Structure 1
Amino acid sequence: MHERFVLVTGCSGGGKSALIEELARRGHRTIEEPGRRIVREELAGKGTALPWTDLAAFARRAIRMAVADWRSAHAGAGAGGWTFFDRGVIDAASAFEAATGRQVVAPLARRYRYRPLVFLAPPWPEIHAGDDERRHGFAAAVEEYERLADVLPTLGYETRLLPKLPVAERAAFVLAALERG
């Protein structure tokens, strides 16, 4: 487990990426969401490992990318400070399980640990919006949120809901929670 690795997860379109960008602006190390990177690469190269085309292939790639991100962050962990992950291994493995029924979350979650306190973006319909990289609707985003909210405690994580506040206030909330322990 790496105590300085902070996972930000939850509902798609719930403001996670904006929060991560704000934390980066404040000087923290951040890791961009694997899914968005994969979608950009697949769209640029006419690939098919897209969540709306082949969820299993997409999730398989997301697992590989999230593991590589975790390992890369671990190799550079000596610098100190927080590293914030916009989604991670658990998210990718959960999507893979949902697509295939193959049980992969628990073994991957045991090997690639984050800080025990995970920040969870709740469904927030007022800010949820689709784009070229996020084509699913709000109902699918809520299903994803519920799946993650259910699995994280079974893996030994405490979840803290992100408040529905402006992004600067959300960042202050996260940093204060981490400083308290």
Structure 2
Amino acid sequence: MQQKIVLIGGPSSGKTTIINALLKKGYGCMTEVSRAVIVKAKEEGITQLFLTDPLLFSNLLLEGREKQYQEAEALENKIIFFDRGIPDIHAYLNFVKTEYPSYFIDKSKAYKYTKIFHFPPWKEIYTTDSERYESFEESEVIDTYLTKAYLELGYTLIQVPFGSVMERTAFILNAISQE
């Protein structure tokens, strides 16, 4: 049976760096969808689509993450890592206090993951860029919404300790191999 492993946490907590390290090790990985959505919106003249129209942004993310999940199922890899999962979407909508249709929760319940690794906010590595505009303090608040969303869906979160890329990657791989 294929394991679908999700890396969650607020912005700039190290998820993508670890996804890239796992890719280099030959693991199947699904990269973050939101950056592609943000870049496409910017090309269309919308500086911050999530802030301008959070529901449209979230629907585009849902479409992309559903597609990734389905693509992962077609792969022969025994382990697939995801840079964020479907429940992240409604967690962010809760963060910005935007009402949303029930299908966001329904999809989060329909597409199940095997394990969730949580990357806590880490001030020493926190940076912003053209797609990541949140302050560190906002990242901490987002993190609480993310953990709440996954816990409410019945997931157990495995906290990834601070450390080097090699140490964090080894922690995740060791946690998976101990089953």
Is it true that 1:75 corresponds to 2:82 in the alignment? no
The one-letter amino acid paired with 2:127 is A
The 1-side partners of 2:148 and 2:91 are apart by 11
Are the counterparts in 1 of residues 62 and 89 from structure 2 also a CA contact under 8 Å?
Answer: yes
- Counterpart of 2:86? 89
Is it true that 1:44 corresponds to 2:51 in the alignment? no
Q: Deviations over 1:21-46 (max 9, x none)?
A: 00001000111111111112222332
Cα offset, 1:49, TM superposition: 6.4
Q: What TM-score results when the alignment is normalised by the length of structure 2? A: 0.91
Instruction: Give secondary structure in 2 for the equivalent of 1:33.
Output: coil
The 2-side partners of 1:86 and 1:135 are apart by 18
Cα offset, 1:81, TM superposition: 2.4
Are the counterparts in 1 of residues 42 and 48 from structure 2 also a CA contact under 8 Å?
Answer: no
- Counterpart of 2:21? 22
Cα offset, 1:72, TM superposition: 1.3
Q: What TM-score results when the alignment is normalised by the length of structure 1? A: 0.90
Cα offset, 1:61, TM superposition: 1.0
Q: Between Structure 1 and Structure 2, how many residues are aligned?
A: 177
The 2-side partners of 1:97 and 1:63 are apart by 15
Identical amino acids, percent of aligned pairs: 26
The 1-side partners of 2:34 and 2:87 are apart by 13
Q: List runs of 5+ in structure 1 lacking aligned partners.
A: none
Is it true that 1:165 corresponds to 2:163 in the alignment? yes
Are the counterparts in 1 of residues 92 and 145 from structure 2 also a CA contact under 8 Å?
Answer: no
Higher alpha-carbon deviation: 102-111 or 19-28: 102-111
Map 1:1-181; keep pairs closer than 5 Å.
3-47=2-46, 50-76=49-75, 79-99=76-96, 100-102=98-100, 103-115=102-114, 117-181=115-179
Q: Deviations over 1:54-78 (max 9, x none)?
A: 22221121111111111111122xx
Higher alpha-carbon deviation: 35-44 or 98-107: 98-107
Cα offset, 1:98, TM superposition: 4.2
Q: List runs of 5+ in structure 2 lacking aligned partners.
A: none
The 2-side partners of 1:93 and 1:80 are apart by 28
The one-letter amino acid paired with 2:64 is M
Instruction: Give secondary structure in 1 for the equivalent of 2:167.
Output: helix
The 2-side partners of 1:142 and 1:58 are apart by 21
